[in-house]
Amino acid sequence: MDLAAINAVVVGAGKSGLAAARLLAAQGARVVLNDKKTELAQGTQAPASVTLSLGGHPSALFEAADLIVLSPGVPVLPEVQAARARGAKVWAEIELASRFIAAPILGITGSNGKSTVTTLVGQMAEIDAPAFVGGNLGDALTLAVDTAAASSGRVIAELSSFQLDDIEDFRCDVAACLNVTADHLDRHGTFAAYAAAKGRIFANQRATDHAVVPAGDELCLSLARVGAGEIHTFGPGGEVAVVDGFITDAANGLRFPVADLLIRGLHNQANACAAALIARLAEIPRAAIESVLASFAGLPHRMALVRELDGVRYYDDSKATNVGAAVAALDGLADLEGKVVLLAGGVDKGGSYAPLRDRLDRVGRALVLIGEGAALLRTAFEGTELPLHDAQSMDEAVMLARRLARPGDAVLLAPACASFDMFQGYAHRGDVFASAVNALSGGPK
C-alpha cells in the first residue's frame, strides 16, 4: 500500500501511536492521531504535521480514513468496525512497522513467559549483531525502523493477541507460541477466538521460516500448521529440552547446567529451552546463548524475591495476570519446604479459576483476596478447606499474609487478574506489594 497522500488515522496516542504517526507522516500520509483522552501524556508531543483528535472517536474521522492503525490495547471500536466494513484498511502498529524492516523478525507470543523469552533472545542476539527488542514489551516496533537492527541485524518482538488480531502481511522468520491458556476472554469472547489470534503469528510464514512450539502441545502444534514454516519443538521430547539436569540441544552442542540458571522454576526452564531454540534457529552462536543463560536474573515482577523475614519468603509475581501464569508461579515453588499464602484478585479476565483452585488445594496455606475480582474468586473456592481472607488494600493483604504464613512458607503475589481496579498497572501493583513487604518489621507477628 502506497502511504503517500492517504488519509490515515492512528488510534491510541501513547508511545506506540505517536511512533506510528511519525512514521506515517514521514511517508507523506495525512495523519490524524486519535484518542479518547483529552490530552497527550505529559512530556509528549505529536509532530507538527500530525493533526490531533482527542476526547473521543468521531465517526466522521473514520469515515474519511483510508488506513486505520491501532495501538496495542485499543478496544474494539464500532467506528473502526464500520470503517473496516466500508473497505478501509485496519492494521496493527506491528503491521505498519514490518513493512519497513528488512532484517529477520523473531516473534514470540504465548499466554505466559513471552516477556522473559523475548528478553532472553534479545540479549543473546545483541552479543552477535545489532538487535532491537520491542513490540508488546518496551518500545513500539515502529521505533525499530531506520535502526541498524532493522537493516542488518535482528528484530525481536513480543507479540500480543491484540496486535496479532490485525495483521495482514506481517511475517516472522522465526515465530514462537510458548503456550495458550485462557486469557483476555473479556476481549476475544471465546477461548477459540483467543487461540486463533495467537496462531496468527504463523499465518504468513514461508517454507524457509521456522515455527517454534512446545513438544506435545497439540493446540500450539495445530496453530503452527496454519502457516508453511518448518515446525520445531522445545521441552520434554523436543529439540531443546532438559536432559539429566542440562538444557540440551544436539543441533549445536548446547549442554547448559540447569543449576546455573538464575531464574527459578520449571516454567523458567521451559522459557530457557524456548529461547535457546529460537536463538539457534536465528543463527545466534552457541557462546552467546550460553552467556545469557548464565547471566539472566529475570524481569521485574516475575517471581522476584522481595525479602525473607522470619523464615518466610515473599515473592512478587504481579505479572501473573491470568490463571495460567498464577498456576505456573505456584509450580515454580515446587521445592518449597512449607506451603504458599497466595495474594490474588483484581480485574477478572473471563477465564475459569478451577486450575488455580486445584493447585492451591494441594500447596496452599491460605488465600488472601483483593480487588474487584475478590467475590468471583471467593465463589470459585466455595467448599474448599483452604482458608479465605479478604483485604481492602495491599498493605492489609501483606499484613494478613504475614500472620498466616509459617516458617518455611512463601507469600506469593500472583493475582491471576488484571490490575487496573486498584493500580496503574501490574508494575505499580508489584511495587506497592514490595513496599508493603519491606515495611514489615522483624520480630513477633
pLDDT at 445 over 70: no
Catalytic, 136? Answer yes
266 and 362 together in one domain = no
Tell me the pLDDT band of 1, cut-offs 50, 70 and 90.
Answer: confident
Integer Cα distance of 387 and 364 in angstroms: 9
Q: Which three cell numbers stand for residue 311?
A: 523464615
* pTM assigned to the model: 0.88
Kindly state whether residues 30 and 87 are assigned to the same domain: yes
428 is catalytic: no
Is the pLDDT at 425 greater than 70, yes or no? Answer: yes
Of 271, 295, 319, the residue at which a domain comes to its end is 295
Helices 394-404/426-438 angle, 10° precision: 50
Instruction: Indicate left, alpha or beta for 443 from its phi (over 0: left) and psi (-120 to 50: alpha).
Output: left
| Residue that finishes a domain, picked among 46, 70, 92 | 92
d(CA 312, CA 406): 7
Q: Are 386 and 220 in contact (CB under 8 A)?
A: no
- Tell me whether residue 444 is in a domain: no
**Backbone dihedral region for residue 244 (phi beyond 0: left; psi -120 to 50: alpha; all else: beta):** left
Residue of 15, 114, 188, 319 marked active site = 114
**203 plus 341 within the same structural domain:** no
At 38-94, the pLDDT tens digits run: 999 888 899 899 999 999 999 999 999 999 999 987 988 999 999 999 999 999 999
Q: How far separated are the first and last CA of the chain, in Å rounded?
A: 65
For residue 136, being part of any structural domain is answered with yes
158 plus 220 within the same structural domain: yes
Q: Which is catalytic among the residues 15, 184, 198, 267? A: 184
CA distance 212 to 239: 10
Quick: pLDDT tens for 337-357. 999 999 999 999 888 999 999
* Residue 383 belongs to domain with CATH number: 3.90.190.20
In the set 136, 179, 204, 271, the catalytic residue is 136
When divided into structural domains, the chain yields a total of 3
DSSP string, 243-269: ETTEEEETTTTEEEEGGG-SS-SHHHH
CATH number at residue 187: 3.40.1190.10
Q: Both 155 and 76 in a single domain? A: no
Instruction: Look at residue 445 and tell me if it is in a domain.
Output: no
Respond yes or no: is residue 319 known to be catalytic. no
Query: In whole angstroms, what separates CA 219 from the centre of its chain?
Result: 19
Are residues 226 and 291 part of one domain? yes
Say what the pLDDT of residue 139 is.
Answer: 94
Range of the domain at 199: 100-295
